[in-house]
Structure 1
Amino acid sequence: MDLDLVGKRAFVSGSTQGIGYAVAESLLAEGAAVVVNGRREDRVASAVRKLEAAVPGAAVSGIPADFADPAQVRRLVGSLGEVDILVNNVGVFDVRAFEEISDDEWQRYFDVNVMSGVRLSRHALPGMLTRGWGRIIFVSSESGVDVPAAMTHYGTTKAGVLALGNGLAKLTRGTSVTVNTVLGGPTYSEGVAGAVEDISRAQGVPADQVKSSIEAANQTSLLQRFIEPVEIAGLVTYLASPVSSATNGAALRADGGVLTTTL
């Protein structure tokens, strides 16, 4: 299917690896020009080179910025220019006991997971409305609906992302601009793979065995395995395209059936 993205310009936050990188590659393959982002300049440059090799002739560039630092975000926004597609993907996560999470850590989670989308959407949305077309997609998580006890800070911010996407969609009424949210499930990104390796070393157990035990422990998963980043990217790319014109203000699941509710 031709998703009609040739001539569109996209920005994907947090896209040097994992879901964000897979989204960037998918958008490039559909003909969009893509600006990638990461915290470190060397990682951004490496991602650009990899994407150029993966999608010959692709129009890809990068802007480094740490979304925990509002000053860096202001510099990014000042140099980004107009975009037709904004994918708010950047996020941080870890497993932590609630009583161990400091105020500063809560603030960092909100700055990266929620305020990144606020700041980028505030930049991109007015231009989309003026030009008469645009797509904003938030990459949230099933943890924003079913908040894990050991990741309360993460789940709370992902619930905030859901609310943000819902509210922004109402600003697009009667236009060809849409705002939607993807609820991803447990995904085997580089960050998760790194956590699995850490557990493997700490417990003296092979990484594949750790991964399998985590998959088996997720009793509500219908997929019964980790999701691959490219599987999330497919839904994001569809939502970024003109083909998805009737979908607005929605929270769509790519969770592998982890959530047990019908809505």
Structure 2
Amino acid sequence: MDFGIKGKVAIVTGGGSGIGKAIAQAFHDEGAIVIINGRTQSKLDTACQDIGPNAHGIVADLQTPEGAKALADFAAERAPVSYLVNNIGVFDVNDFFEVTDERWLEYFDANLMTGIRITRLVMKDMLERGEGSIVFIASEAAVRSIGNMVPYSTTKSAMLGLSRALSENTRGTGVRVTTYMPGTTATESVQGYFEGLAKDQGKTVDEALTDFYRYVQPGNLSQQLIDPAMHGRGVVQLATNTAMNGVCHRADGGTIRSIL
């Protein structure tokens, strides 16, 4: 299927690893010019080499306005940005009563403000051109609120509201803003989490995963971690589907029991 994105510029923030890299790969495979950012040039160089010749990386910290501008300018040197995927985020397991104000602010800055800063720059140009698509990468935790990940769940819930509110500014313009909500995925960080959990519990990783789906996510229909490549395909489809605006697309393995 031709998604009509050959030669167009797609920014994927935090595209050097995990779900972001899988999304960058999917855009690249469809012929897009892919721009990724991160904090380490060597890691970006390796990721771009893995993704392909039309992938380009820049060291740009989106937790600063200067970093957001550097990324937007770097992308615009090639062509107007047609696609922006806001993928940067942090998560950890924590005790709500132990999370400091400073840590809460770190969560909001990483999970929301990084996307706000780059979207503020890129979306304005999209609206002026009457063309473009922005996707925020949220999480099933935004809807299935998690008690030992309260800051993560809260900021991902806020992302749903942010995306929908921004979409209200696109009426009749040809620009779209959507949200993609993945479930637990086999990224390096998630696999590392289960490896540590298995070690602490004196179990194998497979046993730890079995218990996770038995006790933590019993409603999950797939009963397995999601391949990041599936999210890459899903985001490209969402970003290019002109019938979808202001919506949230779930890809959580059936964890959330809802028909909508």
Q: TM-score, normalised by structure 1?
A: 0.92
- Out of 60, 63, 68, the position equivalent to 1:73 is 68
Q: Residue 236 of structure 1 aligns to which amino acid in structure 2? A: V
Alignment partner, residue 235 of structure 2: 236
- How far is 1:61 from its partner? 0.2
Alignment partner, residue 220 of structure 1: 219
Contact 1:215 1:226 in 2 (8 A): no
- Out of 30, 47, 62, the position equivalent to 2:57 is 62
Alignment partner, residue 155 of structure 1: 153
Alignment partner, residue 168 of structure 1: 166
Q: Deviations over 1:91-133 (max 9, x none)?
A: 1001101011111111111111001111111011111112221
Contact 2:164 2:247 in 1 (8 A): yes
Q: Distance in 2 between matches of 1:256 and 1:200?
A: 22
Contact 1:67 1:111 in 2 (8 A): no
- How far is 1:230 from its partner? 1.2
Aligned residue pairs total 256
- Alpha-carbon distance change, 199 to 234 in structure 1, aligned in 2, over 3 angstroms: same
Q: Residue 166 of structure 1 aligns to which amino acid in structure 2? A: R
Name structure 2 gaps, 5 residues minimum: none
- How far is 1:208 from its partner? 2.4
Q: Counterpart of 1:36 in 2: which secondary structure? A: strand
Contact 2:69 2:121 in 1 (8 A): no
Asked if 1:25 is matched to 2:25, the reply is yes
Q: Residue 89 of structure 1 aligns to which amino acid in structure 2? A: N
Percent of aligned pairs with the same amino acid: 38
Q: Distance in 2 between matches of 1:203 and 1:65?
A: 39
Alignment of 1:94-113 (within 5 A): 94-113=92-111
Q: Distance in 1 between matches of 2:258 and 2:97?
A: 29
Q: Deviations over 1:49-108 (max 9, x none)?
A: 1112xxxxx411001233344543344344442411000011100110101111111111
Q: Residue 239 of structure 1 aligns to which amino acid in structure 2? A: L
Alignment partner, residue 256 of structure 2: 259
Contact 2:91 2:152 in 1 (8 A): yes
Q: Distance in 2 between matches of 1:208 and 1:15?
A: 28
Q: Distance in 2 between matches of 1:201 and 1:171?
A: 49
Q: Counterpart of 1:92 in 2: which secondary structure? A: coil
Name structure 1 gaps, 5 residues minimum: 53-57
- How far is 1:7 from its partner? 1.8
Q: Residue 66 of structure 1 aligns to which amino acid in structure 2? A: D
Q: Distance in 2 between matches of 1:176 and 1:222?
A: 36
Alignment of 1:128-139 (within 5 A): 128-139=126-137
Alignment partner, residue 192 of structure 2: 194
Q: Distance in 1 between matches of 2:147 and 2:201?
A: 23
Alignment partner, residue 84 of structure 2: 86
Structure 1 runs of 4+ aligned residues shifted over 3 Å read 66-80
Q: Counterpart of 2:176 in 1: which secondary structure? A: strand
Q: Counterpart of 1:126 in 2: which secondary structure? A: helix
Q: Residue 28 of structure 1 aligns to which amino acid in structure 2? A: H
Contact 1:135 1:239 in 2 (8 A): no
Q: Counterpart of 1:237 in 2: which secondary structure? A: helix
